[in-house]
Structure 1
Amino acid sequence: MGLTSNKVIALAVLLAVVLFIGTVWFWPRLARQSWRAVIGRVGLLIATQLAVFASVGLAANQAFGFYATWADLFGQETSPGVVVDHDPAKGETPVDVRGTRPVNVPGGGRPSTGGQIQKVVVSGKEADTASPAYVYLPPEYFQSRYKNRTFPVSVVLTGYPGTAQALIKGLHYPQTAHEQARKGKMQPMILVMMRPTVAPPRDTECVDIPGGPQTETFFAKDLPGAISEHYRTGKGAGSWGVIGDSTGGYCALKLAMHHPDVYAAGAGLSAYYKAPIDVTTGDLFHGDKELEQRADLMWYLDHMPAPKTSLLVTTSKQGEDNYGDTEKFIGKVKAPTRVSSITLDSGGHNFNTWRREIPATLEWISGRLNGK
């Protein structure tokens, strides 16, 4: 059973309950002062607490998507990004579809009613790497009356070390997009859902690391090119947007600011504005001061020409550490860049907060994109 399986959580909860009842039941028998009774009490207490902690940890992991598999949890998932050699003679497709699944909405078993989620691997020519993703295709994509229609695209990025599955199971992006489009609050849109790194487990912060993974190039060039070649997407700059939370939010803002010719809009949910350097990132810049400065979005607004793109930032007055920086960021934006914001009275750096912001975010980004 997988780490995020409901059965695993149910078993952990059942074990915790059984141990709790067992502790209450056997405690009178273990009340004596013998060494065996003491060891029994200690053993029951430790076992019960471990079972409770495991239950809470498994539930939190499923909700927030910290780890996808047991191997990921125990640090065994250390394989780097896959380098792909592209030989045009072989006719290799840049998007390899590995499977499909329905969307969890009424009538979701029929693609023309519920849309479809495709599990894919996207290969990049410029960055020489490949990355997994999930692609949500709206119901209209499968309806005959829209067979010649092209659709706008939003790349949706997790935080770090989140999983792409968390965007589906935890944040409900496909379901929310389906519902917002059904209500007429947004246009039908393709969502490309993935992690913000192409070299797990390293946190690359969407940086082209000198001598290392070229993450920004992958998202700015390879991903739009590959998806546009495989799906019926709009081809112009106004067809693409990018959304992300936490690390993904920083990446979304940076991609829209650095590449307005590709991304007409970028939404950063609980974003920060400067790439951190820590044990998960390693040395991102290798002494390249210009690269480091460009990765600081506050510096970028002060020193670089204002990009022609639209930005959305979200925060909360209580519960978020980025409130002050977000206000500062908004104050630095100059035309032709446009900036919007969502400010909650309270809300932490978590899935519950982002689920409150996602419907409005999808509506916002839909209004700034077209499918041409």
Structure 2
Amino acid sequence: MGLTSQKVLLLAVLVAVALFVLTIWLWPRLSKGNWRAVLGRIGLLVATQLSLFATIGLYANNSFGFYASWADLFGQEQEPGVVTDYQTGPNGTKLRMLGTERVSVQNGSRPATGGRIDKVLVRGEHSQIASPAYVYLPPQYFQKKYAGKKFPAALVLTGYPGTAEALYKKLHFPQTQHELLKKQKMRPTVLVMMRPTVAPPRDTECMDIPNGPQTETFFTKDLRADISEHYRIGREAKSWGVVGDSTGGYCALKMTMRHPEAYSSAVALSGAYKAPRDATTGDLFGGNRQLERENNLLWRQRHLPAPPVNLLVTSSKQGEGNYQQTLRFIEQTKSPSRVSSIILDSGGHNFNTWRREIPAALEWLGNHLRA
């Protein structure tokens, strides 16, 4: 059974309840002072506590989508199965189709009504990185009125470690766009949903790490080229944006500011403004202080020319640790960059807060992109 299976969670709950009941029942028998009774009490307490922690951990993981599988949890990369290449165009494509999923909206089984989610494997020619992605094609992509027309696209990134599935199962990006399209509040946009951890288990912070994974190249060159070759998506920067939460938010801002030739617009939901240095990242900069400064977004604003891009940042006055830095980022933004914000009165660094921000953020992003 998979890590996110409801059966696993139910089994954990049953085990925890059974151990609790067993502890109550056996406790009088283990009230003696001999070593066997003491060990018995210790064993029951440890087993009960572990079962409770496991249950809470599984529930939290199912709610927030931290890990997608047991292999993901234990840092083991899961090799994709062998599939048939999906060919398109005169030269084919570097994508591999892994399957399709319906969108959980009314009449979602009909692509022309609910759209479709394709699971693909992107293989980077320049970065030599391969990573899965979920591509949401809006209903208009399948309608005769739009036949032959190209669409704008938005790369949607989770935090670290995160799971790409959480973007449509928990944060409901496709479902939110579907509602906005019905209200004519945004243009139909292809969503490329991914986790920024394309070289697991390392948190690369979307960096081209010296002598390490070339994550920035993967997202700014390989991904855009491969997706545009396979789907009817514009290739220019005006057709591409990035939206992300937490680590994904930092990646969205950084890649757009550093590569305006790749992305024209970015949305950072509770994003940071510089990369951390911890056990998950290691040394991202290879001791190069200038490279470290260039990846500090507040430093970039002060010392480097502003790119012609659109930026949207979000935070909360209470509950978010990035509030003061977000105000500083807004204040330091110089023309020709343009900045907007969503500032909540209160909200934590969690899915519930981001779900409150996503409708306005998607509407903003969708109306800044052009096919």
How does the TM-score come out when normalised to structure 2?
0.92
Query: Could you tell me how far apart the structure 2 residues matched to 1:91 and 1:233 are?
Result: 17
Residue 25 of structure 1: how far off its partner (Å): 3.8
2:105 maps to: 105
Percent of pairs identical after alignment? 63
Query: Could you tell me how far apart the structure 1 residues matched to 2:73 and 2:125 are?
Result: 31
Q: What amino acid is the match of 1:227?
A: I
1:83 maps to: none
2:224 maps to: 224
1:362 maps to: 362
2:193 maps to: 193
Residue 35 of structure 1: how far off its partner (Å): 4.5
1:153 maps to: 153
Query: Could you tell me how far apart the structure 2 residues matched to 1:111 and 1:316 are?
Result: 37
- The correspondence of residues 1-372 of structure 1 with structure 2, limited to 5 A, is 1-33=1-33, 35-77=35-77, 91=91, 93-371=93-371
Query: Could you tell me how far apart the structure 2 residues matched to 1:315 and 1:197 are?
Result: 23
Query: Could you tell me how far apart the structure 1 residues matched to 2:26 and 2:246 are?
Result: 47
Query: Could you tell me how far apart the structure 2 residues matched to 1:48 and 1:158 are?
Result: 34
Query: Could you tell me how far apart the structure 2 residues matched to 1:7 and 1:362 are?
Result: 34
How does the TM-score come out when normalised to structure 1?
0.92
Distance change in 2, residues 1:366/1:91 (3 Å):
closer
Distance change in 2, residues 1:78/1:233 (3 Å):
closer
Query: Could you tell me how far apart the structure 1 residues matched to 2:78 and 2:362 are?
Result: 34
Residue 347 of structure 1: how far off its partner (Å): 1.4
Q: Deviations over 1:15-45 (max 9, x none)?
A: 2122223333444444454554444433332
Stretch moving more, 15-24 or 152-161: 15-24
Instruction: Give secondary structure in 1 for the equivalent of 2:23.
Output: helix
Stretch moving more, 255-264 or 32-41: 32-41
Query: Could you tell me how far apart the structure 1 residues matched to 2:366 and 2:93 are?
Result: 28
Residue 235 of structure 1: how far off its partner (Å): 3.1
Stretch moving more, 357-366 or 45-54: 45-54
Residue 324 of structure 1: how far off its partner (Å): 0.9
Q: What amino acid is the match of 1:156?
A: V
- How many aligned residue pairs are there? 361
Unmatched 5+ stretches in structure 2: 80-89
Query: Could you tell me how far apart the structure 2 residues matched to 1:19 and 1:139 are?
Result: 50
Q: What amino acid is the match of 2:57?
A: G
Q: Deviations over 1:271-317 (max 9, x none)?
A: 11111222222222223333222111111111111111110111111
Residue 344 of structure 1: how far off its partner (Å): 1.4
Query: Could you tell me how far apart the structure 1 residues matched to 2:185 and 2:59 are?
Result: 32
Residue 75 of structure 1: how far off its partner (Å): 3.1
Query: Could you tell me how far apart the structure 2 residues matched to 1:31 and 1:157 are?
Result: 54
Query: Could you tell me how far apart the structure 2 residues matched to 1:39 and 1:119 are?
Result: 51
Q: What amino acid is the match of 1:209?
A: I
Query: Could you tell me how far apart the structure 1 residues matched to 2:178 and 2:275 are?
Result: 33
Residue 72 of structure 1: how far off its partner (Å): 2.1
- Indicate if the aligned counterparts of 2:75 and 2:200 stay in contact, CA closer than 8 A: no
Distance change in 2, residues 1:355/1:211 (3 Å):
same
Unmatched 5+ stretches in structure 1: 80-89
Q: What amino acid is the match of 1:24?
A: I
Distance change in 2, residues 1:289/1:39 (3 Å):
closer
Q: Deviations over 1:36-72 (max 9, x none)?
A: 4444433332222211111110111122222221122
- Indicate if the aligned counterparts of 1:162 and 1:195 stay in contact, CA closer than 8 A: yes
Q: What amino acid is the match of 1:318?
A: Q
2:82 maps to: none
Q: Deviations over 1:328-367 (max 9, x none)?
A: 1111001111111111122111111111111111111011
Query: Could you tell me how far apart the structure 2 residues matched to 1:177 and 1:234 are?
Result: 19
Instruction: Give secondary structure in 2 for the equivalent of 1:164.
Output: coil
Q: Deviations over 1:92-111 (max 9, x none)?
A: 52221110011111111111
Residue 5 of structure 1: how far off its partner (Å): 1.1
Residue 78 of structure 1: how far off its partner (Å): 8.6
- Indicate if the aligned counterparts of 1:78 and 1:200 stay in contact, CA closer than 8 A: no
- Indicate if the aligned counterparts of 2:104 and 2:175 stay in contact, CA closer than 8 A: yes
